[in-house]
Amino acid sequence: MKRFLALLAALVLATTASAQSDYENVDPTGQTITFWHQHSGIRQDMLVEIVDDFNATNPYGITVIEENQGGYGDIFNKMLVLLGTMDTPNLVVAYQNQAATYQVVDGLIDLWPLVRSAEWGYSEEELADFFPGFLQSDVNPTFGNMLLGFPPNRSMEMLYYNLSWLQELGYDGPPTTPEEFAEMACAATENEYSGATGAGRSIGYEISIDASRYASWTFAFGGDMFDYDGGTYTLDSEAAVDAMTFLQDLTARGCMDIVTERFGDQTNFGQGRTLFTVGSSSGFPFYRQAIEAGATFEWSVGAIPHVTPEPVMNVYGASVSIPAGHPAEEELATWLFLKYYTSTEVQADWAVASNYFPVRASVADGLGDYFDADPAYATAFSFLEYGVAEPPVPGYDFVRNLIAGEMAAILEGADVEATLSFANLEANDILADQLADID
């Protein structure tokens, strides 16, 4: 949060002048814009409703056309072919590393001038309503801290826990420190939950091999994956070594298993066979279904146990970006829809329909009934102010694959420091190769 606020303060003066010259006298009246997204089912139904309402009520006669263009990968591949042409959509869903890849060829516009526009942007008070960690994830250090996307929603890594089992073990609530987590996980491994269903042994924690798990535990141990001042990965930091050593030790003690099949941890959690899992908040409905079909115990979510004074939560999710090459009138019209999409009232409806988190703190005022109906969601919402993000840099997909491989090796007993040192060298080589194309 401090990093974002300092960055924002430094950018205010620099962007306000360009905003006034770029957009202050632009007229968006009558523009038609296209929005490429991946939403389907209930989420697309709500998005259609949001678009229809905007089209019917905006005072400029702007028309938005929403188009499902397949999954994230499908959209990414289509965009790579169209970048630099007028055939790109006006608004496109993109993960931060995808946006960075587009920007290697100047494929996106910097949103700071629109955000800071005196005529079309946000006041300081309005901007402060956005969760800082959400906005920070779209500020790209590789491209002079340009704002290459804007968040309409986010998910967050959470600790899922079986409260009924914890109470049987003599605990009042979830762990807050790694030491408490290890103690509880090992106690559960030795003492099966009385209401467990299905077959298999009890285990304290099942972990999926994934770069986001690596990031979440590194954050919890007080570190980061990236040096934003130096522009390099820090996968072998002291905090990362401590985090991976902690997980390696839990595995060696038999208190933690690696997930061996897709959503296997979720299934075992629902059957009361696994005490803890760590996963995305977007999984709430699926965890609930697994529990209702399984051991029907009391459960909730919390912060990943941490050594820091406050939790450090890994938030992630695709943002939306405005491709370059369109007239300023279309860019401004697109921005006005984006402002509507992320307005407090619309965000409340979008949160309920999508089960994503809204991006503004003020949305909580309109979610009282939803919080009552879904206590886990309400608990998770309280942690949003502590959100940080994984690196929004080109080539991060390749680095994610690298991290997953080295994390698996560590949990199988490889030397932690040597493995992370190798991973860091490889990650920075990948980054250097990506950056070589920018000039």
- Rounded Cα–Cα distance for residues 255 and 187 (Å): 8
Q: Which residues contact 309 (CB under 8 A, 6 or more apart)?
A: none
Instruction: Give mean pLDDT, residues 100-109.
Output: 93
Please say if the pLDDT value at position 186 is more than 90: yes
SS (H, E, C) 32-78: EEEEEECCCHHHHHHHHHHHHHHHHHCCCCCEEEEEECCCHHHHHHH
- Phi/psi zone of residue 296: left (φ > 0), alpha (ψ -120 to 50 degrees), beta? left
* Residue-level pLDDT at 435: 85
Per DSSP, the three-state class of 207 is: strand
146-170 pLDDT tens trace: 999 999 999 999 999 999 999 999 9
Q: How does DSSP classify residue 357?
A: B
* Both tokens assigned to 104: 């290697």
E strand or H helix at 158, and its extent?
A: strand 155-162
φ, ψ dihedrals at 186, nearest 5°: -70, -35
Report pLDDT for 22: 80
CA 345-343-58 angle, to 5 degrees, is 95
Task: Please report the beta strands in 255-309, taking only residues with DSSP state E, as ranges in sequence order.
Answer: 256-258, 274-280, 299-302
Alpha helix ranges (H) inside 318-374:
328-341, 344-354, 368-373
Q: What is the pLDDT, as a whole number, of residue 439?
A: 57
Integer Cα distance of 221 and 311 in angstroms: 10
358-397 pLDDT, tens digit each: 999 999 999 999 999 999 999 999 999 999 999 999 889 8
Contact 223, 243 (CB under 8 A): yes
Which residue ranges make up each domain of the chain?
2-154+317-386, 156-314+395-435
Phi, psi of 68 (to 5 degrees): -75, 120
Q: Give CATH for domain 2-154+317-386.
A: 3.40.190.10
C-alpha to C-alpha distance for 212 and 176, rounded to whole angstroms: 20
SS3 120: coil
Question: Per-residue pLDDT tens for 53-67?
Answer: 999 999 999 999 999
- Do the domains at 2-154+317-386 and 156-314+395-435 have one common CATH topology? yes
Is residue 148 a contact partner of residue 114, using CB atoms and an 8 Å limit? no
CATH of 156-314+395-435 given 3.40.190.10, 3.20.20.80, 3.50.50.60, 2.100.10.30: 3.40.190.10
**10 Å Cβ neighbour count for 418?**
12
